[in-house]
Structure 1
Amino acid sequence: MSAIAYEWRGVFSNAELEALHTEGFAPAGPATDVRSDVDRDDWWGRVQRHSLGWVCARLDGALVGFVNVVWDGGAHAFVLDTVVAERAQRQGVGARLVRLATDEARAAGAAWLHVDFEPHLRGFYLDACGFSPTDAGLIALNT
């Protein structure tokens, strides 16, 4: 197997990121997908408008991993949309994506990197990525 290449603010097409997200988040199903049809196809425009940066992982040219880092323009950055293609899972790709995102957020001057996750991802984010557990709150706006 070829080596996986990682790139901060790497170029991607909307179609390949949509395909990766569909593969990675398919178990959640359309009932939990609150994106509008307008937002659905323009991943590139969205990261350009709202992100500090993102990390792309490629294997033989194919997008196999992605993490997005949005921010408030100051001290707080947020990890979103961490996803790894099934063929690249269980190889440390996700942890490497988050580690690179962490390094770049720090280099950009962010003081805090936040992440929200579902309970089954606790080990990944706390153990593999080094996040600390915190108390947080959430309001579901589209219920």
Structure 2
Amino acid sequence: MTITYEWRGGFDNAALNALHADGFGPPIAQTDWRTRLERHSLGWVCAWEDGGLIGFVNVVWDGGAHAFILDTVVARHCRSRGVGAALVAKAADEARAANCEWLHVDFEEHLRAFYFDACGFKETTAGLIAL
């Protein structure tokens, strides 16, 4: 089975909502992803296998040098196959092509090895305010 990765790929809101529920836990939301992404994102990467959406990452930006990845998700049955790292690599390539100088990510502690080891992010000092 071949996995393909598509920058700013077309997708169905229902399919992306189902993928999010599979990856992050139920319930299945009714988010209008297309409207949200068109308004706030530099782009996004979709991963496809056999016509099904199996992975996704959103790349938001400040309109200049900084891009941020959000919502990295891979279908449970496709994990540990390099899909997530490939999504992030494609996101980095496209952010670089848009003349961004930095790609940021925030993550939960259990994802540390994924982002640092598999994706190549470096540890930095950062701040956060819970709102």
Output the TM-score relative to the length of structure 1.
0.88
Runs of 4+ in 1 over 4 A off after TM superposition: none
* Residue of structure 2 equivalent to 1:21: 20
**Per-residue deviation, residues 81-133 of structure 1 (Å, max 9, x unmatched):** 00000111100000000000000000000010000000000000000000000
Say yes or no: does 1:10 pair with 2:9. Answer: yes
Pick from 101, 114, 120 the counterpart of residue 104 of structure 2.
114
Q: What do you get for the CA RMSD once the two structures are aligned? A: 1.2
How far did residue 13 of structure 1 move? 0.8
How many Å separate the matches in 2 of 1:134 and 1:62?
Answer: 36
Matched AA of 2:108: E
User: Which residue in the other structure is 2:34 paired with?
Assistant: 44
Return the offset for 1:48: 0.4
The 1-side partners of 2:21 and 2:76 are apart by 11
Q: How many residues align?
A: 130
Aligned to 2:49: 59
Structure number with the higher helix fraction is: 1
Long gaps (5+) in structure 2: none
TM-score normalised to structure 2 length = 0.96
Q: Which runs of 5+ in 1 are unaligned?
A: 31-36
Q: Match of 2:43, as an amino acid?
A: G
